[in-house]
């Protein structure tokens, strides 16, 4: 079993060893060291899922963090690999399963029945901006944010628990308080995370505030987070929404006191 590298889950299953969405801020695929580690993984995700059938203590399993479980592929057998993993995990109702995808539309179309069968299988999506034009430049091959959120709304109305990962939070691009305000009626849980490896990843010039070199300093991140993340936290508390602040983001907030 693969222990999770994210601090809100105990385990993770990486379904695919590639990602087609080509997000500009993605450390997993834009930092060569991490890319090679992911590509070299050899375990069978379905067999990996079966291991959890024997574990009685509750685990929180992410499917999946370093690659998207709903990529745009045409091969029928390969396309259904995520469903085969979820079918196995449906027999492990003692665990919580967190699906994380930039294509919750496909997840709803294909696997809504499994989410409802399991009972503790949550559908989540990543949102870095509500601006469709900015999203097209940052996440050129992913569905637009408004379509992702519509899919979550449908899932929520059907009785599936939903969550949003607001990560990475990027200055002048990600306004977490606006994302929360727009989604609070159909999202059950939020994760907020920082922009990691920002000195090694060059962002496209999506607006006039992005530095010419496409990179933010840690100080710039800290200032942004202490303005906007703190406001987002107050909003989450106001609406009684459970949330999780990832440890790398907490480090920035501690600079000015928690």
> Tens digits of per-residue pLDDT, 3-26?
656 789 999 998 988 788 889 898
**CB 188, CB 156: distance < 8 Å:** yes
Report the percent of the chain where pLDDT is more than 90: 77
Residue 1 belongs to some domain of the structure: no
H or E, element range at 238: helix 218-238
The CATH number of the domain holding residue 17 is 3.80.30.30
DSSP state of 135: H
Question: Rounded to whole angstroms, what are the CA distances from 130 to 5, 123, 127, 210?
Answer: 27, 19, 7, 17
Higher pLDDT, 209 or 64: 209
d(CA 160, CA 152) in angstroms, rounded, equals 9
Query: Mean pLDDT over residues 20-41, rounded?
Result: 71
Residue 93 belongs to some domain of the structure: yes
- Checking if the pLDDT of 254 tops 80, the result is no
Residue 233 belongs to some domain of the structure: yes
**CB 127, CB 165: distance < 8 Å:** yes
Residue 78: predicted pLDDT: 80
| Lowest model confidence (mean pLDDT) among 21-25, 215-219, 232-236 | 21-25
Rounded to 5°, angle at Cα 61 from 89 and 100: 95
Residue 141 belongs to some domain of the structure: yes
Residue 123 belongs to some domain of the structure: yes
Q: Where are the alpha helices (DSSP H) in 41-162?
A: 45-50, 76-79, 81-89, 104-118, 132-138, 145-158
- For the chain, the straight-line distance linking the first and the last C-alpha, in angstroms and rounded, comes to 35
Domain residues for the domain of 23 are 11-254
Which of 185, 162, 169 has the alpha carbon at shortest distance from 99?
Answer: 162
- Checking if the pLDDT of 31 tops 70, the result is no
pLDDT band at 60 (very low <50, low <70, confident <90, very high): very high
Residue that the structure tokens 């469709």 belong to: 132
- Checking if the pLDDT of 255 tops 60, the result is no
Residue 222 belongs to some domain of the structure: yes
Residue 90 belongs to some domain of the structure: yes
Give the count of alpha carbons within 13 A of 245, CB side only: 18
Residue 7: predicted pLDDT: 86
Residue 128 belongs to some domain of the structure: yes
pTM metric for this prediction: 0.92
d(CA 98, CA 104) in angstroms, rounded, equals 12
Name the burial class of residue 49, with classes exposed (0-12), middle (13-18) and buried (19+) by CB atoms within 10 angstroms of its CB.
buried
Report the percent of the chain where pLDDT is more than 70: 91
Tokens of 159: 């009785």
What is the total count of domains within the chain?
A: 1
């Amino acid at each position: 079993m693969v222990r999770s590298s994210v601090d809100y889950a105990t385990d993770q299953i990486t379904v695919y060893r590639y990602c087609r969405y080509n997000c500009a801020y993605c450390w997993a695929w834009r930092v060569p060291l991490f890319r090679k580690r992911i590509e070299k993984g050899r375990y069978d995700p379905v067999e990996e899922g079966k291991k959890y059938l024997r574990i009685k203590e509750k685990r929180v399993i992410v499917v999946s963090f370093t690659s998207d479980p709903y990529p745009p592929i045409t091969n029928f057998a390969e396309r259904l690999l995520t469903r085969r993993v979820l079918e196995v995990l449906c027999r492990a109702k003692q665990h919580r399963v967190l699906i994380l995808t930039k294509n919750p539309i496909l997840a709803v179309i294909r696997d809504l029945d499994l989410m409802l069968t399991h009972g503790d299988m949550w559908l989540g999506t990543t949102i870095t901006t509500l601006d469709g034009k900015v999203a097209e430049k940052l996440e050129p091959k992913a569905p637009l944010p408004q379509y992702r959120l519509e899919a979550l709304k449908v899932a929520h109305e059907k009785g599936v628990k939903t969550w949003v990962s607001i990560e990475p939070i990027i200055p002048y691009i990600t306004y977490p308080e606006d994302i929360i305000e727009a989604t609070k009626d159909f999202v059950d849980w939020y994760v907020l995370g920082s922009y990691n490896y920002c000195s090694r990843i060059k962002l496209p010039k999506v607006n006039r505030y992005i530095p010419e070199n496409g990179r933010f300093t840690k100080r710039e991140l800290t200032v942004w987070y202490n303005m906007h993340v703190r406001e987002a936290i107050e909003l989450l508390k106001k609406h009684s929404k459970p949330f999780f602040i990832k440890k790398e983001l907490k480090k920035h907030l501690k600079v000015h006191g928690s």
